[in-house]
Structure 1
Amino acid sequence: MPKFAANLSMMFNEVPFLDRFAAAAESGFKAVEYLFPYDNPAEIVAERLQAAGLAQALFNMPPGDWAAGERGMAALPGREADFASALDTAIAYAKVIGTPLLHMMAGLAPASDSQAIATYRENLQRAADRTGEAGIGLVIEPINGRDMPGYFLNDFNRALDFIAEVDAPHVKLQYDVYHRQILHGDVIMSLRQMAPIIGHIQIASVPDRHEPLTGELDDRRIFAEIDAIGYQGYVGCEYRPAAGTREGLGWMSKV
């Protein structure tokens, strides 16, 4: 059975962010992930994490101006200095909170634009070098265009190509089952093929991004395959509860 991590950006929204750590632990989770911790001092986040007895699975690098619609800066020409500053911030937070993984968001840019491609390559290499020095893993994630129109990294094979170019053992793929199914399908076979390069897995039902076992996929078989490929990390529950978070957690006892 995979080890599940509650995504505190989507789950337990019934309480303020800092109270979600205790809520996740009380609901039986042993680990958490979330999009961004940066609205709170790293020391406070670390305190809540430790007080709840939770492991930290992953969080994202600062994405730019999220409220204004930015979804990362790695592929944005002219934003290299902002990206470098965000990378510094992420590493500083990672060291205090103790996350083993950082996710680098690509941003909104045409996937075929040569300048965006060159900028992304340079920033991925910069992030790989810095996280490698800090002893932190780095992952990149393809995201589907229905949920995030215009996202630069929208293809799993392309993500693998970028990772191969960097050729660093700590740079891996963030495999989101929900995004994979919408972008390409073929979830089981791709898990088998990509197993050596997968650094983190996330789950949600398709098509509505609710709890597992409520969509079109056979999530039980997917969980069995995650075990079969030898994946040892956490599976992030990056889903939107259909009703209340606690009310929807019955799926965990059925897998």
Structure 2
Amino acid sequence: MTDVPPSSSHGTRCAGDVRQPSAGVLSLIIVHHLNNSRSQRILWMLEELQLPYDIRFYRRDPQTMFAPPELKRVHPLGKSPILEDTDGPDGDPIILVETGAICEYLVEKAGGRLGPPADPLGALRYRQFLHYAEGSVMPALFAKLVASRVPLLGRLAAKRVQPMIDVHLDYVEQELARRQWFAGDTMSAADIMMSFPLEAARARAGLAEGRPATVAWLDRIHGRPAYQAALAKGGEYAFSKPS
């Protein structure tokens, strides 16, 4: 699915720019990172897991807001995020797409850190929200974005989509009113997966109206040192700011 672009963009990094790892650190992971996109979650997750990595930067076309063709040289889909690991399973290199699949892979690579809680119900919540982010919330948000760009009739269609979005946001609010994190008492990859749709919803779909538990959750993730480190390394990401 195409990433939801923000309303404005800035910065100067170009496709294929590489940020080198810290001196003395051997990086086995490369993140092909598109500005203002889902791939910001992968940087955050790598920071939380303290796994060394490099970043290759790509910029959206300023007119279409699509990813540049250079990404197709890495993977046929040409979508970000793309993760390369020169030390994949059995020591073989791998190239992996889809944010959820990448998150699950990194949990395994890190020995289960940020994985599901030990209790069965928490593990089910973890699995549900890991897939709910892209399977349910993002399609509704994307439908509103696409519709709103079509004059008149599109704007009317966008208004019809908003009630569907509100159903999702109200459900999320109920869940976060019961616990600090989506799976239980500690942060997990499920929270990282949910960050992008909820940040996009705050920017575009009125999330902040009457949903204090969700806003508090956003404040918690934005205050984490790993989140801030990922922002500093990843560059332009407008969704981290309230609209």
Q: TM-score, normalised by structure 2?
A: 0.32
Richer in helix (by share): 2
Richer in strand (by share): 1
Q: TM-score, normalised by structure 1?
A: 0.31
Higher relative contact order (CA 8 A, sep 6+): 2
